[in-house]
Structure 1
Amino acid sequence: MPTPSTSPDRLPQNASGPSRLGVRRRMDNAKERETSQRSPYRLQLLGPVAAWREGRTVDLGPPLQRAALCVLAARAGRVVTKDTLIGGLWGDHPPNTAEQSVYTYIAGLRRVLETAPGRRGPYSTLISRSRGYVLERGAVEADVGDFERHLAEARRFQTAGDARGVLRTLEAATECWSGPALCGVPGPFAEAERVRLEELRLTAMEDRAGALLDLELHQKAVTALTELVAEAPLRERTRDLLMLALYRSGRQADALDTYLEVKRLLAERLGVDPGEALRERYELILRADPSLDLAQSETTDAGPGARPPRQLPRAATGFVGRVEELVRLRSLLTPWDGGVPQAVVAITGAPGTGKSALAVQAAHTAAHTFPDGQLYVNLLGATPGVERLEPIGVLGRLLRALGLEGKAVPSEEDEAAAMLRDRLDGRRTLILLDDAAGPEQVRSLLGLPSGNTVLITSRESFAVADDCVRLVLRRMRRSEGVTVLSKLVGAERISADPAAAARLVELCGGLPLALRLAAARLGERPDWSVRDLGGRLEDRRRTLHELESGQIAVRSSLEMSYEGLARGGALDRLAARTLCHLGVLHVASVTADVVAALVDEPPDAAERALDRLVRAHLLETGEAGRYQPHDLVRLFTIELADTHLTPQSRKDALMRALGFYGATSRHASALLDPHRVHFPWPDVPQRPLSLDGSAEARGWLDKELAHVISAASQAMASGDDEIAALGAYVGLALSWQLIREARYREQLELSRQTLLVGKRAGDLDMQALAHGQIAGALGNLGQLDEAVPHQEIELELRRILRDRFGEMRALGNLSVAQIEIARYAEALESAEVQNAIAREIGSAVGERHSLLMAGSARRGLGDAAGALCLLEQALTLARVAGDQHHESISLLFLAELCLDQGDPSTARDYLERGLRLSRESGQRGREGHLLGRLAQAHRLLGEPEPALRCALNSLAIAQRSGDEQLRRQAEDELREIGEAFPGVEVTPPRSAEEALSR
């Protein structure tokens, strides 16, 4: 794909150099003085891309290397994947060498940016991460950051109505520019970023002109806007401002000519007419409307008795945060282009998110846009013990506020709504409806004439409301929450322990209500530190109790929502019952299928109930089909379960959910590998989820594994023996998936819990199963000496139970452990006894396993021929059976035998086949061992690059799984590669992510 030209003499029409920007070009020495006082590197993107370090110019390399730096700088502090870099540099059609070029550019940038150039890692400025790279936040300071900070500050001044502050910060923002953005940098990212930044610059200059008009500096505004029109002749907002500035400067004819000129240009170039806002401005200027005169419009009064209503509650003096949301609301209520405001705006969100405070703040900010009045009604939609207002009552209040006598207010809703529309025709009025029960309560108020706005707050979704823009209010960011605490408690007290303050925000879930209550608790207890309160909230049984002050509490706010559902129709009542039952199962998120088991309802009914809770903002949706509560709502559901469900109901619900999880886990594992023998499973009424083949089975296990582990652990910690036993069997149902995924730590923890449950119940079979699982997990984690005793106990218990199949399997697992600690003669004996029992009871899988272990043991004893014979038998049997698990083990063992005999070429063939099978069957742990041996084969064949890649991937798997034996083997192999190929960088990575990124 040809690279777009970025030569400075071929600028797009609306781009501009320093002279057209009206910005002074800063001298290099001034920039160097500024740089020396900031971060080590100063990056210029708002102009020709350049960098300085400690006052000296830095050579950033070729254009594409500069483009890579621009992509990384735009996402400083976040991982930028190699695919993102390739897309940003070349788009959808990169060259074949793109990936290698990225490595080259990263290496070049590291030579420039790292504080200790020439040293091969570990890097501190441009760091390798999983599948990509991170440019450390703060390591490079860019002028774009300064520009955007000035814009954010200007928005805050706009919100506060401080025109001088707006002017000052926007002038500072435009001073950041020294030419067209990202000048000289090619690629799709640079092109898109140029467009984005140019749009921000033009908007900033328009806002600056607006501030000049607010300060009655009309002639200065004319000069600035005339220059801007020359740059961007088709921007309607610029023309609109210029027309107003000209009119206020006494140049009405010039203002009208400005409109006619843009009308002609739009027709010639785009074939369109000017927008509504521009046409309205033209009409007003044509008739010299008094509203255009700033001084007159601010002082004119309609006389006594005709004053427009001003009913808004007082804005909170301590309101902080929600900057983005306020900017969004301002753009809807007072559009930047001077157009009509949005007809309906609904601020929705969970209880305690600060909807009402934000709405009042936004309404005060936008009040000047609604000169005909601002009305307010509390609809009492979620107030306990009080009937919500009926629509006719709301209409009556609004009509009386607009001057209609009480006896003239119609008694019929439709008639009253029509009269309200008539009264508001041609006016600009803002109506704030606080705490709506839902769209039905306010539907008759939503079709008002253009120019009027209805601003609504509600815990319910307004997705079905016509012509409505929704702003869903979620939890505050940590930084905003800390600011709230500082404002309410005092900056000194909060800044004394910033880490504790940040943790307190997390414990409050980022909810403004919870933060206010936490601040109130600190105010009530001046002897407490922030850390003291945080410690009390860490005890999740006390969290909701601690977040109370006087009559205000997070719990009370949540109870209002729950009670509203419990008193509602059939679906609302089902949603309330579902919310109670969610407190029974302690998992991070749920699907409709598991909730169907919890509440004993069909999945479609459970899904409707969950969606109802989402609309009530009591649940949140993540990926498709998953639901999770906010942290404080989660605690509330546990309280609901304890107070609204009987102990037997809670037990039954949990048993149903465990039955569903366990049955589906076994079914999915069987679909993935029908040759593995699964552990016992009790007879439960729950049927497994219907899964169509291995792909769906793998997808279900991938998504649900962490949740099933949590449910099993929760159950095994129960004091109820039945619940604990079922939890143990659920954990055992996960065994093969945990082994496939090389999640040995979770396997060990679940197995230890299972052993405790088995001992408590006196269940020898469960104890035997647990000992075997513990032994396998310990062996895979490299704790071999600890593994063998557990395996020996399992074998003893199987013999006590006279369980021949269990005895056979225990012997096979014992032979694995014995081989790992080089007790080959004992391993051979165990494998031969296993083989005899397997033949006796007709277990083909046991026979294959015994041949594999016997072959491995004979290899350890130096009997290569005997080992080869047994391993080839095992391979043949595995192929005939279609058992990919045993086939890949056979290929690994045969490859190790070939490596012993100095035949790396044949070993490589075996290993590549085994690796393909392991990946197809999802055997992550086996994949690590195959990669380690494949690295060895490539090294012996003189192939450094594939050897290094395989060794690093093997190490990454070892680090993620905790397999210490595999980790040592991979690190040894990396050292061997370094010695065999001195020019190859083989410094062991610090993490799995770093290993994979190389």
Structure 2
Amino acid sequence: MHGDELRYTLLGPVKVLSGAGESIPVAPQQRAILAMLIARRGRAVTIDDLVHGVWGPSAPERARSILQSQVFELRRKLEPGRPPRTAAKVLASAPVGYRLLIAKDACDVDRFDRDVSEAERAAGDGDREGARQLLCSALSLWRGEPLAGVPGPHAESLRGALTERRLATVETRIRLELELGAHAETVPELTLLVAEHPLREGLRAQLILALYRSGRQAEALAAYADGRSVLATELGVAPGAELSDLHQRILRADPSLTADLPRAAASSGPPLTGVPGIADGAASGPTAVTARYRHPTPAQLPAPPADFTGRAAAVGQLLSALDAESPHIVVSAVSGLGGVGKTALALHAGHRVRDRYPDGQLHVDLGGMATDPVEPDEVLGRFLRALGVGSVPDGLDERTALYRSVLAGRRVLVLLDNAAHSRQIDPLLPNTSGCAALVTSRAKLSLPSAHAFELDVFSAEEALALMSRIVGPDRIAAEPEAAAALVTACGQLPLAVRIVSARLAQRPAWTVAGLVERLAEEQHRLDHIKIGDLAVDATFRLSYDQLTPDLARAFRLASLAEGPVLSVPMAAALLDRDEQQTRSLLEQLVDAALLEPSGKWHYRYHDLLRLFARARAKEAEPGARAAGAAGASTAPVRAEGAEADAALDRLVDFCLATVRDAYRLSRPGCTTPDELAATCTTPVRFERFATGQEWVRRELDTLLGVLRTAARRPGVRTAPAADLLLALDPFGESDFLWPHLNGPAAALADAAARHGEPAAEIRARYMLGGGLWQVGRRDEGRAQVEHAMTLSRATGDEAIRGQLLNVSGLLATTGATTSEGHQAALALFRESVAVHVQRGNLWGELESRNNTAHPLRQLGRLPEALDCLADALGRAAPLGWTLVRAYAQSGHAQTLLSLGRPAEAVASYTEALSGCQEIGSEHMELIVERGLGEALHALGQYGQAAAHLERSLAGAQRLGNDPLRALALLALGTTLSAAGHAERADACLRAAHALHLQLGIPVPEPLAAYSTDD
């Protein structure tokens, strides 16, 4: 065997690997000798040094001969084929000792150092993400404690030095991740590191900053107080300047905290790649990668219009306002008619001044003309995530405060397009100098100190210039008078000019004069019709009338779906065409400027064109033209009638068929899909649940729109939509979609009641009741479920009675404070099991059996609970990893913990966590993370426990799951208290107490003391 084929590991157990990757057995003393020789990198080590390094002062009398014997054995293992009496080529003799001939990068320490050095260079070049990845690669080489099990003074010294280098690298990686904006994501690992290294002020400073930037100010201050106490107790010193300065800056809400990070390192990111619990020491390894803190730099502005024309005066005024140095935020508001070019102007100007706002550009379409404009708190959630905030707080006020804190000290341009009114945008405005907000709206907004611009229609020259760019200058120059008449007929409105120009460009044989005549005829016939505040129907009508019947139908029907964008499969259902035909039709509408592309095979309407298309859909129905001749309606345009209703029915049918298919994969053995209405549309097929889950995530806006539309369609059965809502149950559970589903569920329940459809009402109220319970509105949820149960009994509808009993049990056990309450919940779960068994619903039976364990635990009947869960686990295992198996595994672990068997509970929770990750259910994963944290706490592993609990808390906050957040805060506070972090523990427990009261959850014993506080 050649020396250049051998590989050596020190970052974990000392190993020698052959060229084939096989481990060569080496005895402990031989590993100690090897470690010394590897560390010298080919240089000679004297026999005396080797003796001292292996045995120290307690070396035996025959140490030298023992050493030589061990070297002989090592040589035989490293070069098994070496002929006798020939010189060793790997472990060679030296004049006073030995040396190991080792190839470059043959040792994992060399590869570790190489990656760290390359990371330093990458960071120096400004490539933080590249540097982070290199450090992750370096840390992935670690396989536990370095030189694990190797005896001797040298091994102990080298072990300490390597451990120090590892921790220094971890700190550098974490700091880079903070620089990349992973504030909330760093908290779990930082919590673990601070617990293991409580005297390291740099780590604590970054934990404090990460908490503060995540909107957890009380915990940040508490973490400082804990550090001050530890330093005083252990060392008799006060916190250093860095920590004290950070504390003072938080107290005075220093806006620069959101712009610059303190110089000292320490940070966090993905879980440590080495084995947790290594006794890391102070940083003394490679030079830290130096760089000031930087947030993510969002660049959300859509591309500027390539054919932007004219508007020289407006552009100049807008650029002047945005370029101005001001001690206050710059706000520019552009108002004007729909289609006048406000968005085009804003995008053009925004891209022109991007360099003045190097910290990013944010953009949102506020949907001012939509039935339901985008709410400010939803926009703030998007913006905060784009700015690097991983854990977004609940509530408009909290999000607004954090948003403005994050923007403080930064130069960011915020483009708020298509605003409905000033109330919608007030929370979205930054409040610091250096930032600018550019707002567009059809209404004149009342914004203090704003630069207001009212955009008028094009001048004749600007309109002709745009037409020339689209149609071609030669054709326009050949008919100058007709061209002038054409832009006049368009009202010189940019959108109208663009549409007729696109039509003219597609018809080379048409003359401009001929188009003017057609437009004049349309205007005369339709001059009484308006869309909103704009009389442009004639312009739109001209392009519409030139469409083939198939294209016109596609234009009408595709507009019926709600949601910001429409995918090809959804459009195909509306049009009753296959996807290839649908894609062709939509692309032709894009060519006619009647539709806009929005990503791969997704499309969107300009809101005016959507209204026009829906008006045409209504007009296309029998009798509509006669009704329209009586006068224009000022009510919002809603397409009703046979064609539109048939299209919407097909869309519901397609969505139900597709979601049902994914439901079956999610809940094998469940009979609910068989209870849903029959469908006739070919659905999207999925091979596994994860792909169906991804489809639902991608199409969620359209699915919610389908439900809302169904709830308000007069005289149309709600049953198919109620079935679609019920089919979304697994996705509400796996992705915690309840905050999104509750609104449509309430609307459908009311609609079903109005229409006299009890089966649909039962299903909608079941979904609403469970959804309200999930978000912490237990009393409201109970009322909905009781209403559904009453209807079920009155009508004899047994289809989902088992599910209703199950959720009734959940509602009962959540609020139970007495044994009678838990007995009542137990009875409901057992009745649910019986109903599911009768109906052959294996999934439902297992789900209710799992839930039976909760009241059994509360009643102290732990062995019975364990047997129940073990039975459910055994029956669920053949189904593969599903949510019902994950719930059973988690409940099994929780019961083991209640029985005082925490080590077994940790193993069971770990298996459940692996299953959740395989399923792809973040929601269930967060529940298991909390349980695993509690089990690790019981074992006294407080650092690891806190890391899991932090992940559960951050995820619960992100998903809006307040009940889980309350439980995670309680568990985290208890763990931090046990670990000696009294101040931060108190902050968590106070927050948990307040949340329990807010949600109406019984206050547990650890929080009882807070009930007496003022």
* Structure 1 length-normalised TM: 0.49
- Greater RCO, 1 or 2 (C-alpha within 8 Å, sep 6+): 2
* Structure 2 length-normalised TM: 0.48
